Chain A
Amino acid sequence: MSVHDTLLNRLKRGCETMAYPKGPAPALPDRHGGALKVEAAKCDADCSACVTVCPTEAITRPAGKPVALDLGRCIFCAECVKVCPTKAITQTNDHRMAVRRREDLVLGDTGKDQVRLAQALDKKLRRLFGRSLKLRQVSAGGCNACEADTNVLGTIGWDLGRFGIQFVASPRHADGLLITGPVSKNMELALKKTYIALPEPRIVIALGACAIAGGPFIGHPQHHNGASGLVPVDLFIPGCPPHPLTILDGLLRLLDRLGEPVAKR
């Protein structure tokens, strides 16, 4: 191939980085479904169809109480959506799911039919990290899907670097820790050591169902059912794995870099 062809191809392709967040967010795949919404008031009395199909016991319905769905445990298989006779659990097609507090992922109660999206870091941390956030990534029992879709953010289409967010090769260079996987017992020590090696102030992000609550392996004795029992978590990003757009939304939300509410689809 001649240099001429290469240059011409490069010119034709132009800038391949997406406009988001200045422009509209790219659409999720039409069968993705996005975040779930739970309207517990719609539930039939005594119905627990969703509870019995959920593979990760993310849905509970104690007798006489409304249904509760924990998006932190959810692996988004949508089996509950399929079996719900009253459409109380529905897909929103919304990619935004990241929260700051674990309890904000539990849906169902009045006024909590959708996730309460993450607030930005406080002013002091925003001043420190808002334009330059260096993250160290630790996979602790992750299946390489969360890892792969985090890696994707570094490619030309997403270009995470334009927000000053970068993954670094030493905890000493990092402002925060991004954890994937349910935290296998065999990674406990390495995770703790990495956390301690981060200079303060430091933040921790739990990415994916495994890191939040154990994912498909929830309750197994070989791991810790997520990171929050070992290190304080500042941001929870649900999904199995979360779509890259969900991850980016979470990171930008934390840094208050989304600007005005973005017109979506």
Chain B
Amino acid sequence: MKRDTPFTLLTNGAALSWTDVPEWPLAEFLRNVGAELDRGERLSSFFGVPEGGALRLVAVLAFDAGNTLAVGRSQPFSGSFPALTATHAQAHLFEREIWEQHGVVPESHPWLKPVRKDHGAGPAVGDFFRVDGREIHEVAVGPVHAGIIEPGHFRFQCAGEEVLHLEIALGYQHRGVEEAIAGGPHRATVYQMETVAGDTTIGHATAYANALEALAGTEAPLRAQWLRAIALELERLANHTGDLGALAGDVAFLPTASACGKIRGDFLNLTALLCGNRFGRGLVRPGGCPVDSDAERLSQLRKRLETALAEVQQAAAWLWDAASVRTRFEHTGHLHAKQAAAIGLVGPAARACGLVRDVRFDHPTGWHRFAQVPVSVWPDGDVFARARVRWLEIQRSGDFLREQLDAVPEGETMSSLPALAPNSLAVALVEGWRGEVCHVALTGADGRLRRYKITDPSFHNWTGLALALRGQAISDFPLCNKSFNLSYCGFDL
């Protein structure tokens, strides 16, 4: 779909010369970004690129309905810029991040505080939004949580049981991922990409590989693209199954909780069948997939997949049949489609608010150009909807794998990667199991990575959890949290 826009359009997984990215004075750039957001487009990534002593802002917009991406940049500036957040909530965390990373101040940002760092002591040290009143009490949870979970801090403002406001402070997991890539790719870079969020190894590694292949002006062999698509769905199956089990566990419905815990492992073992590692480490590399699987291995995969799918079907049937589960899931942690669109929610959480957005469908790249997965949507925006979308996606992923394993493309799985084009920008989106994984890579004159921006789906979605908690009983927090199941390290980078 062609339409009038000042931005340069590019497809997912493509690169363009840095000079072809349209450049505007700061005010015009922000006006242009704002205008596209007003038209209902989505901010996929928004970040700074240092230029001498000054800074440029770069916006990557997703025109979902037009199946295209759009990029634009500002002229270098220093000091401050008028915050988009004041009028466009989607920019909220991006602008805080730009301030934190580069020191330029988004003026009239309504809630300017660090995202990940605060004098080395974790962002929770900053001031929290407080509700005043004699009946109001505050609950602080974390960073260390009860269980085997990553750390983060939750600050609730409550009137009795009811949560009036939740503020989420992260950054505890910050490892300096983006800084580490600068000047790369280095020998360790691909391994770091696999651990941006360890449960999304395939998602992040594929986005990284796609970005580098785009910069190198090449494409992975078809069979490698196919293998990546297989692995991406196995990752989704494992995590969605685990989430259904954990949701069941949070409402004390043990049959499904027990069964899904085991079946999740069965799906992880299918990934291990392909590459030896349950999380898919070593499966995706720029240039292809270094480990191929022969027909016998693939038929074993197919057979074990059927068993696991049949078991998860049974476990899910128990869940949906139980009235006790439905009463706990329905109308809990509700998020409106309007809110979801305003904050730029992605992934199953967005689809559970009725938003039809899925990178595999809207911005197909790699194997998804040839084989699509239908988008699973549920309208209600509550815990039930988020569980339901996961179940729908488990079924669609199963169908996709069945279909694909019956039509295996021939050929090599690995090719060598040519040198990266200098002064070029590439954007790679992948629909990870939590939603849109966005990698933006920019090379310098030497063909090395000058700036690398990662946006994990959790970066968009933590705000969704905070909004879903409003008006809920605080005792429902674990259930709501699980229904989003967001990444801490993917956010913290």
Residues of A participating in the B interface, judged by any CB pair closer than 8 Å: 1, 6, 9-10, 16, 29-33, 53-56, 75-78, 136-152, 154-157, 167, 169-170, 181-182, 184-187, 189-190, 194, 215-218, 220-223, 240-241, 243-244
B262 contacts partner chain A, Cβ-Cβ < 8 Å = yes
Q: Does B175 contact A (CB under 8 A)?
A: yes
Q: Nearest-CB distance from B136 to chain A (Å)?
A: 26
Stretch at the interface among B209-217, B313-321, B389-397: B313-321
Residue of A nearest to B204 (CB): A143
Contacting pair B176 A221 (CB below 8 A): yes
A-B contact pairs, 29 of them (CB 8 A): A1-B317, A29-B272, A30-B273, A31-B273, A75-B191, A136-B144, A139-B149, A139-B173, A139-B488, A140-B172, A142-B489, A143-B195, A144-B197, A145-B199, A147-B198, A155-B262, A156-B259, A156-B261, A157-B265, A167-B147, A167-B148, A184-B175, A185-B120, A186-B120, A189-B121, A194-B144, A216-B192, A223-B175, A223-B176
Is the C-beta of B470 less than 8 angstroms from some C-beta in chain A?
no
Known contacts A147-B150, A186-B173, A190-B172; 13 additional CB pairs below 8 A are A33-B276, A75-B281, A78-B282, A137-B148, A141-B175, A143-B195, A143-B197, A144-B488, A145-B279, A184-B172, A186-B123, A190-B151, A223-B175
Contact A142 B180 (CB under 8 A): no
Residues of B within 8 Å of A156, CB to CB, are 258-259, 261-262
Q: Are B173 and A184 closer than 8 Å at their CB atoms?
A: yes
Q: How far is the CA of A31 from the CA of B278 in the complex (A)?
A: 11
**Partner pick for A142 among B150, B190, B258, CB 8 A cutoff:** B150
**Least CB distance, A247 to chain B, in whole angstroms:** 11
- By the criterion CB–CB under 8 Å, are B191 and A216 in contact? yes
A217-B281 in contact (CB<8A): no
Q: Say whether A215 contacts B176, CB under 8 Å.
A: no
Contact among A148, A181, A218 with B173 in the assembled complex (CB-CB below 8 Å): A181
Across the interface, B265 reaches (CB within 8 A) one of A152, A185, A189, A218, namely: A152
Shortest B302–chain A CB gap in Å is: 17
B157 contacts partner chain A, Cβ-Cβ < 8 Å: no
Chain B residues lying within 8 Å of A194, measured Cβ to Cβ, are 144
Contacts of B281 in A (CB 8 A): 75, 77, 240
Q: Does the CB pair A217–B176 fall under 8 Å?
A: yes
**Residue from B197, B258, B492 within 8 A of A155 (CB atoms):** B258
Q: Determine which of B122, B174, B321, B487 lies in contact with A222 in the assembled complex, contact meaning CB atoms within 8 Å.
A: B174
CA distance A56 to B194 in the complex (A): 14
Closest to A82 in B: B290
- Is residue B305 within 8 Å, beta carbon to beta carbon, of the partner chain? no
* B148-171 near A? 1/0 per residue, CB < 8 Å: 111100000000000000000001
With A and B bound together, what is the CA distance between A56 and B186 in angstroms? 11
